């Protein structure tokens, strides 16, 4: 019953919005997703809008920005925020792939089995921190071990793509998710800026770029916009990424580099929802020292474990709101 009502509501309001333009009015969109208008702020009435949900989630959007801020966390959009007759607008693509997953939908399946992927390994050291003499491959393996204990305490079954310092192909990491019947895949990494840059820092969480959309990271990611197997989980991917980014930023106070999208090899062929976390910059003078410290890696593991709990609490198998 609830499901039917939800679909009808979405169809009805969707038709209204679509009649006006190919873009959706932000205010209408957030209201139909259950948010309540709190205030529109900014010196220019058109420049920004702010909303809050009954549950306390806040949304902030600003004209021409390519991101929105949800509960204090930056979420990258495919199209910049637009404006129409004094009101902010968002694209249908962003409505479907960002707003619906974060504000409305939940995962269909409660996660039980989680595959942790400590980035790099063996001949592939990943980034290297000179002053504190550690490698990304060792920092990710340690973080994964800490995370495993915490997730097991929450009752999850936890597996690793690697438990030792061995090299693994990216495709094999993703394939393991299917082999093990994993419900979630979490790839752990630490970042580095360009050589000699010791100031860039912050945390970012990636989900697979939806089909037909831009990746927020040009890098080495595949440039095609075709649908990948992992795109079956766009909605869950976005919710998981946002949940993790939110907990990580709260726990570490790190710079919020946002929920981003990329066609990383470990995410493309996944048989379950998954994300890739860049838990800070090893190259940063400040963050590089923090990541060297086990207490800080523990904080990151605790944040991710808490976020998995947040995500699991959103399971709504009957609420199929896609259009």
Interacting residues toward Zn ion by CB under 5 A? 119, 126, 189
* Residue with smaller CB distance to Zn ion, 91 or 143: 143
Q: How far is Cα 20 from Cα 210, in angstroms, rounded to an integer?
A: 25
> What's the min distance (Å) between Cβ of 192 and Zn ion?
8
Quick check: helix, strand or coil at residue 25?
strand
* Residue with smaller CB distance to Zn ion, 119 or 210: 119
* Residue with smaller CB distance to Zn ion, 297 or 314: 297
> What's the min distance (Å) between Cβ of 62 and Zn ion?
31
* Residue with smaller CB distance to Zn ion, 111 or 279: 279
> What's the min distance (Å) between Cβ of 276 and Zn ion?
8
Q: How far is Cα 59 from Cα 61, in angstroms, rounded to an integer?
A: 7
Instruction: Give 121's DSSP letter.
Output: B
Quick check: helix, strand or coil at residue 157?
strand
Q: Would strands 157-160 and 113-118 be described as parallel, antiparallel, or unpaired?
A: parallel
Output the CA–CA distances (angstroms, integers) from residue 195 to 130, 159, 183, 185, 266, in the order listed: 12, 34, 37, 30, 25
Residue with the CB atom nearest Zn ion in the bound state:
189
Instruction: Give 102's DSSP letter.
Output: I
> What's the min distance (Å) between Cβ of 301 and Zn ion?
17
> What's the min distance (Å) between Cβ of 205 and Zn ion?
13
Quick check: helix, strand or coil at residue 217?
coil
* Residue with smaller CB distance to Zn ion, 106 or 126: 126
């Amino acid at each position: 019953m609830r499901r039917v009502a939800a679909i009808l509501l979405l169809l009805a309001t969707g038709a209204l919005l679509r009649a006006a333009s190919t873009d959706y009015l932000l205010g209408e969109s957030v209201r139909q997703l259950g948010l309540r208008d709190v205030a529109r702020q900014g010196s220019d009435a058109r420049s920004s809008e702010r909303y809050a949900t009954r549950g306390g989630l806040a949304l902030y959007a600003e004209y021409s920005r390519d991101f929105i801020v949800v509960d204090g966390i930056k979420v990258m959009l495919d199209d910049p925020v637009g404006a129409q007759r004094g009101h902010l607008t968002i694209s249908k693509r962003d409505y479907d792939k960002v707003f619906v997953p974060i504000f409305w939908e939940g995962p269909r399946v409660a996660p039980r089995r989680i595959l942790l992927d400590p980035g790099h390994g063996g001949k592939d050291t990943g980034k290297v921190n000179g002053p504190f003499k550690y490698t990304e491959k060792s920092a990710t393996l340690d973080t994964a071990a800490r995370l495993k204990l915490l997730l097991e305490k929450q009752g999850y079954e936890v597996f690793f793509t690697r438990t030792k310092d061995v090299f693994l192909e990216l495709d094999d990491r993703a394939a393991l998710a299917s082999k093990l019947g994993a419900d979630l895949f979490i790839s752990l990494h630490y970042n580095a800026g360009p050589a000699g840059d010791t100031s860039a820092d912050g945390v970012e969480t990636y989900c697979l770029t939806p089909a037909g959309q831009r990746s927020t990271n040009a890098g080495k990611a595949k440039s095609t916009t075709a649908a990948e197997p992992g795109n079956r989980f766009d909605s869950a991917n976005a919710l998981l990424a946002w949940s993790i980014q939110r907990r990580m930023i709260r726990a570490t106070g790190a710079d919020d580099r946002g929920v981003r999208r990329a066609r990383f090899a470990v995410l493309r062929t996944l048989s379950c929802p998954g994300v890739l976390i860049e838990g800070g910059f090893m190259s940063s003078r400040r963050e590089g020292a923090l990541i060297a410290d086990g207490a800080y890696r523990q904080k990151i593991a605790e944040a991710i474990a808490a976020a998995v709990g947040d995500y699991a609490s959103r399971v709504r198998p009957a609420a199929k709101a896609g259009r």
